[in-house]
Amino acid sequence: MAIDPIELTKKLVNIESTTYHEGHAGAFLYEYLGEQRYSVERTEVEQPDGASTPGAGSGERFNVYAAMPGITPDVVLSTHMDTVPPFFGCSEDDEFLYGRGTCDAKGIIAAQVAAADRLREGGVKVGLLFVVGEERDSAGAAAANLSPKGSRFLINGEPTDNRLALASKGALRVELRAKGRMAHSAYPELGESAIDKLIEALHDVLALQLPVEPEIGPSTLNIGLIDGGRAPNVIADKAEAHILVRLVGPSDEVRRSIVAAVGDRADVEFSLDLPFVRMRKVGSLPTMIAKFTTDIPKLTAWGEPFLLGPGSIHVAHTPREKISKRELLEAVDHYVELATSLVQNGEFEAKCSHFGRF
């Protein structure tokens, strides 16, 4: 019986799996794929230190890899099991599925599982790789990259409205920490405000002219978290801010600019650096530029990358997250067509190379 991606999406969305809490989703997929006659592997991924990582879990977390027994896959379909918080379960109407992960990325998992079922029946050597941690630091992808399976192509899934991405922006996470000296707020001259230092530094960071790539667009910068101080009547002895820069090229220039802008007002730490990626067009699928980053920069050992998936990034990470049932079904066809085309063209090029035509 063919796999129903709509029903599978609903089951997955109803399993809470925010980042660091992916264990139940991984266990479900491990069992489900085993029932589909796959040989299934799990790779443990460490939990971060809870003292330094808000929201860190204590349960198990692991990647799930599946393929038919004994094969080396030509193409691997991959996406992530984790979601951003907060969790909310699945609901539906005639047109859409709603809930956390419907488009980012549990609907994509379901579409890839359904596509892999058709691909293997068509003789394509296909694998499935579902990882943890994409929404935070790509820890699962980094772990998977240590044990690749020999695939020539990787089709990564993120919400691209079923368009093939020609590029995806990189990501640079920056943490600023300012130090000061506490004092009674009635006597500010006796203290040194860490918050004042941080605000001044952030003002100069926001004024930076960031790189622009003509075909892709500008780098963008978001100050996503700010924390500091003790009380309104206390001069703040500490303050910090977390920034995310969407990169359109190498990070070196941006790093230098931020360090120079901050100066000695705060310590600067770069806690994540995922590079900008270009990809090629294949077939007749419509194309797009992904302004977000993906696990692709951490899965370099899994073959030439492609990025494709159902759903809109505009509703991902929001209370309105949803996916069109029609688009979900169309995604299965797109994954089958793309994977088949890649494998067939790769075999043709290999034969031509063998006979000296290139």
List 134, 135, 240, 327, catalytic entry: 134
Task: Note if 134 is an active site residue.
Answer: yes
pLDDT at position 46 over 70: yes
Please state, in angstroms and rounded to a whole number, the distance separating the CA atoms of residues 290 and 233. 45
Share of the chain above pLDDT 70, in %: 96
Question: Is 259 within 8 Å of 268 (Cβ atoms)?
Answer: yes
Quick: pLDDT tens for 214-224.
888 999 999 99
Q: Tell me the average pLDDT across 257-271.
A: 98
Q: What share of the chain is helix, strand, coil (3-state, %, to 5)?
A: 30, 25, 40
Tell me, what amino acid is at 13?
V
Question: Is 5 within 8 Å of 157 (Cβ atoms)?
Answer: no
* Confidence (pLDDT) at 356: 56
* Confidence (pLDDT) at 245: 98
Comparing CA positions, the residue from 251, 257, 316 lying closest to residue 277 is: 251
pLDDT band (50, 70, 90) for residue 82: very high
Residue 177 in tokens: 């920490």
Tell me the Cα Rg of the chain. 23
pLDDT band (50, 70, 90) for residue 358: very low
* Confidence (pLDDT) at 349: 60
Please state, in angstroms and rounded to a whole number, the distance separating the CA atoms of residues 227 and 231. 12
Residue 140 in tokens: 């699962």
Q: Tell me the average pLDDT across 165-178.
A: 97
Q: Tell me the average pLDDT across 278-306.
A: 96
For residue 298, which phi and psi values (nearest 5 degrees)? -100, 0
Q: Tell me the average pLDDT across 50-72.
A: 89
